[in-house]
Amino acid sequence: MDKRRVSFALYRVLAYVTGIFLLGLTFVAMPAKYLIGETARFSLVGAPQGMEHWFGPESPLMLFIAMPHGYIYMAYVFVVLWVALDRRWSAARTLGVALAGTVPVVGFVVENRIVRSEQAGEAGRAQEPATAG
């Protein structure tokens, strides 16, 4: 299998996994830690009866969502660098794609645009030899 295809497929998978974990971190784990429960730093509402252990500063959601997100994001950045070196991306494009994994939903949009751009580039390269002959 072609190394370029493997790196790009891995980029696509990690872009989605990073985005999903970032959404979970932003909209589930962080609110559970900081906004819900009597012991939360900025408590807005109390924790549901019988589920107090899931909320507040010691929320296990941070362990299940935040920790994996950090490791997955590091893998995502390494794969973005791998793809960028293989495809000779500019530094600005590489940095933009890497940072897209830090803003909820933006990673999905950037991944979609990168895929369309790469598909258009492959289609253009495939037509070049046919027109040259």
Tens digit of each residue's pLDDT (9 = 90 or more) over 40-58: 677 766 767 776 767 877 8
Percent of the chain at pLDDT > 90 equals: 50
Mean pLDDT of the chain: 85
Phi, psi of 95 (to 5 degrees): -65, -40
Q: What pTM was estimated for this model as a whole?
A: 0.81
Q: What is the pLDDT of residue 31?
A: 87
Tell me how many domains the chain contains: 1
Q: What is the pLDDT of residue 12?
A: 93
Q: Is pLDDT at 38 greater than 80 in this prediction?
A: no
Range of the domain at 20: 3-132
Q: Is 132 exposed, middle or buried (0-12, 13-18, 19+ CB in 10 A)?
A: exposed
Percent of the chain at pLDDT > 70 equals: 85
Q: What is the pLDDT of residue 5?
A: 85
Alpha helices in 66-105 (DSSP H): 67-87, 91-100
Q: What is the rounded CA–CA span in Å between residue 75 and residue 73?
A: 5
Q: Give the confidence band of 2 by pLDDT, cuts at 50, 70, 90.
A: confident
Closest Cα partner for 69 from 13, 17, 34?
17
Q: What is the pLDDT of residue 45?
A: 67
Alpha helices in the chain (DSSP H): 3-24, 30-34, 60-61, 67-87, 91-100, 106-132
Residues 106, 100 contacting (CB under 8 angstroms): yes
